[in-house]
Chains A and B, each alone.
Chain A
Amino acid sequence: MAITYEQGLAFVQGFAAAIAENKEYLTQLDSEIGDADHGTNMNRGMQAVLPKVGSLEGADLSQLFKTTAMTLISTVGGASGPLYGTLFLGLGTAVTGKTALSTEDWSQALDAAVQAVRARGKAEPGDKTMIDALQPAADSLREAAQDGATLEAALAACEQAAEQGMQATIPLVARKGRASYLGERSAGHQDPGATSSWLLVRAARQAITAET
């Protein structure tokens, strides 16, 4: 099976719903080690994305993700706007010209997107950022694709890796972003960016496997 445009749209909409549902939780996490706006900002952005992607006519997956990217870049602000914008721009660029995505296509797109986010934010795994959820997710998806796993199994592995990566940020000392100013005091808190990234990966799995 392959990922269709409808599933891509359901993924973006599902991510918006997950952000709305977890808005206060993300802001709470951010108030512990940041500046208490991650949930609010991401929700403002994804709520602006919904009508934009809802009114796309005859668009392909690439246009869908690029529209999401440009809307996030112009509405979110903070670091999350350019970083999530870059993530979706990376997905959109990687799937150019494709009408349906194989497990391998999706893996390559996620790889490209995560690389782009790392280049923009200059964060490495272990810095206590969204990369700590995204990089393991991309790695496990790639391994599953190489092992010939079904799309469902690959996406499940991807989601699990993101969740573990997110949980693994708890003991870390932040080295990037606002939490880094806390030094040792940032340890013991789950990173809000890694948390929203896990929601993104989970939304992809839910949207793509829902109708199978």
Chain B
Amino acid sequence: MKKLINRVEDVVKEELEGIVAAHSDLVRVHFAPNYVVRADAPVSGKTALVSGGGSGHEPMHGGFVGMGMLDAACPGEVFTSPTPDQILEATKAVSGGAGVLHIVKNYTGDILNFEMAADLAKADDIEVEAVVINDDVAVQDSLYTAGRRGVGTTVLAEKICGAAAEAHGSLKDVAELCRRVNANGRSMGMALTSCTVPAAGKPTFDLGEQEMEIGIGIHGEPGRERRALASADEVVEMLTRPIVEDLPFKRGDSVLAFVNSMGGTPLIELYIVYRALSRYLDGVGVKIGRKLIGPYITSLEMAGCSITLLRLDDEMTRLWDAPVNTPGLRWGV
């Protein structure tokens, strides 16, 4: 697998050096341990938002640091959770005295490392709350698994909660809002090709020319089932039906529709997906109140997409529209 990199060991470090070279007006980067903070951190009296996870999902999370979104992001190695010391340092760096919210995607490693970091931060008298995002409907039997994975809703939660924190929401209120976003968001993804972890050097799994993986995770971990390749319209129905039935989304609901590229799928195909999604939702009487289309939570160069629906209320809609100024999302400024 060809990659545009220098040394495999330097992938994350050099990416961070690139981010700070490009966006020093928005963010600062600390190395060893690695974390990205907004340029004006810590913001006194503001609830701080910290997220993190393995690298390879860019722009999530480092690209979402800045005014109106995250205060800090902790990038681990590719597809590997950040470490507790790293999360602790980031938490301290952005703590403005009003508490710190950890937004954690539901993966065993992320949970363990963020739990250890929260214990350490509390020992340093920093108030920490953690909200776990687990929106992936592809994981069916959650009693006998590590539970549903955190995927697309994470991006939406970081934007909406970031706006609430910017508007002086308390730690308790922002955490409550984050739980509400998680409770109302559902996602499912699919892959046309595998991705290749730089250090592994070969594709994580094999997928034939005429095959696709439905219910893929964002780390190349195989999904719900492998099927014969189908048309975009058919794929959208395979992803959307389980999402709609799971919450369930009902006639008259207003949703934020998020069509995401896994990294390798171009915008031309995402719009074909969005076309089918809007028709499907129209058919079941669900209204698209807001939308987001593009590569926001990726899986290296994997081809494929995910669909996330978030049932909106007035507060979430208002917070979604609020100004945001990060390397990866920017409007209203």
Contacts and interface: CB of A to CB of B under 8 A. Distances in A.
Contacts of A75: 83
Given A81-B81, A175-B144, A181 B112 contact: no
Interface in B69-111: 76-86, 107-109
B146 interface: yes
A44 B223 CA distance: 28
A73 B222 CA distance: 27
B137 to A, nearest CB: 12
Interface in A65-84: 73-83
Given A82-B112, A83-B112, A37 B146 contact: no
Contact of B78 (A34, A37, A173, A182): A37
Contact of A182 (B85, B149, B197, B221): B221
B107 A178 contact: yes
Contact of B85 (A44, A73, A120, A178): A73
Interface in B156-193: none
A174 B108 CA distance: 13
B53 to A, nearest CB: 10
Q: Is the interface of A mostly helix, strand, loop or mixed?
A: helix
Interface residues of A, number: 34
A172 B74 CA distance: 34
A78 B80 contact: yes
A189 to B, nearest CB: 11
B139 interface: yes
A65 B86 CA distance: 21
Nearest to B107: A178
A64 B305 CA distance: 47
Interface in A171-190: 173-183, 185
Nearest to A127: B144
A81 B109 contact: yes
A121 B83 contact: no
Contact of A180 (B112, B146, B223): B146
Contacts of A36: 79, 197, 200, 204, 220
A180 B145 CA distance: 5
Nearest to A183: B141
A36 B139 CA distance: 20
Interface in B116-149: 116, 138-141, 144-146, 149
Interface of A: 27, 31, 34-37, 40-41, 44, 73-83, 120-121, 173-183, 185
Interface of B: 33, 54, 76-86, 107-109, 112-113, 116, 138-141, 144-146, 149, 197, 199-200, 204-205, 217, 219-223
17 contacts: A27-B199, A35-B197, A35-B220, A37-B78, A37-B197, A73-B116, A74-B84, A75-B83, A77-B54, A77-B81, A80-B109, A82-B116, A173-B144, A176-B108, A176-B146, A181-B149, A181-B217
